[in-house]
Amino acid sequence: MKTIRTVAELRAALNGPRRAGRSIGLVPTMGALHEGHLSLIRRARASCDVVVVTLFVNPTQFDDSRDLGAYPRDEHADAALAAAAGAELLFAPAPEEVYPAGFATTVTVAGISAPLEGEQRGIEHFAGVGTVVCKLLNMAQPDVAFFGQKDAQQVAVIRRLVRDLDIPVAIEVGETIREPDGLALSSRNVRLSGDERRRALALRRALDAARAAVSAGEREAAAVAAAGRAAMSDYDVEPEYLALIAPDTFAPVVKLNGEPVLVAVAARVGDVRLIDNDILDGGS
């Protein structure tokens, strides 16, 4: 695997394969790679001829400078993991390569970006995500780009921006990879202390409780959400949000009517902000 730093090198490296008709898969990451990332890289490996992993801790999507400062970084380990999972190219640009002096353009996706993560982290969060993903897609021009369902709102934002801006790429979404006890893998999990690690299970338990409520026949979204909140309080964790929404539009769901419903939850455990989600079939 080759590590490259500039857009020019990336384009040069992909020119030959593209002309030879080889398909290109892109897996954008912020590094601190774990099984969640690696599952996406392996999936790209299985369906594309050339796999590019990007490693860029995008400053513009962080609303909290402490979170940005504390974000785990280990390019050496990431390179070894990405190579072992089947990547040919690791694109790890410096911030100045991505945002040169005078950078002035922002891609925002109205509507979907506003609730939940947008409300908690500020509207700039998804503007940062949308802009950097748009740039990475233009830099590598992949045939397929891979994202994780763990960041469900990010997936919805990216699908919409690709459609609205006619970007010629297929978006594939990989399932959320979890620890054996159900905690969703996240680069931030390494910052959880022993007791926080136990309490972090509150998010998964809330999703389980919401699912159980629907299975038991509950159709009022508020009551389903209340069941989830109650499960979290057992772990002494207060959600920032726990919401039932339509998976594509992120519009709130009031009553379940058989359509798939996304249950999304976010909470701070100690200093660490965690998110998780689950799709319910909505009852019938």
Please name every residue paired with 54 in a beta bridge, in sequence order, or none if there are none. Answer: 28, 91
Would you say 4 or 58 has its CB closer to ligand AMP?
58
In one-letter notation, the amino acid at residue 182 is G
Which residues inside 154-213 make contact with ligand AMP, applying CB under 6 A?
174, 176-177, 184-187
Report the alpha-carbon angle 66-72-76, nearest 5: 145
Burial of 41 (0-12, 13-18, 19+ CB in 10 A): buried
Report the alpha-carbon angle 137-103-10, nearest 5: 35
Count how many Cα atoms sit within 13 Å of the Cα of residue 29 in the half-sphere of its side chain. Answer: 31
Would you say 148 or 283 has its CB closer to ligand AMP?
148
Q: For residue 133, which of 110, 162, 105 has the smallest C-alpha distance?
A: 162
Which residues inside 130-149 make contact with ligand AMP, applying CB under 6 A?
147-148
Would you say 219 or 268 has its CB closer to ligand AMP?
268
- Minimum Å distance from CB 245 to ligand AMP? 17
x-or-dash string of contact with ligand AMP, 216-255, rule CB under 6 A: ----------------------------------------
Would you say 118 or 174 has its CB closer to ligand AMP?
174
Instruction: Kindly state the number of chain residues that form the binding site for ligand AMP, as judged by CB under 6 A.
Output: 17
Which residues inside 6-45 make contact with ligand AMP, applying CB under 6 A?
29-30, 36-37, 39-40
**Which are the contacts of 274, defined by CB distance < 8 A and separation ≥ 6?**
184, 186, 188, 189, 200, 203, 266, 267, 268
- What are the b/e assignments for 133-144, b being 16+ CB within 10 Å? bbbbbebbbbbb
Q: Which of 125, 135, 150, 160 touches ligand AMP by CB under 6 A?
A: 150
- Minimum Å distance from CB 257 to ligand AMP? 28
Q: What is the largest CA-CA distance in the chain?
A: 57
76 catalytic? Reply is: no
- Minimum Å distance from CB 207 to ligand AMP? 14
Check 34, 37, 76, 125 and give the catalytic one: 37
Would you say 172 or 218 has its CB closer to ligand AMP?
172
Active site residues: 37
Binding site for ligand AMP (CB under 6 A): 29-30, 36-37, 39-40, 147-148, 150-151, 174, 176-177, 184-187
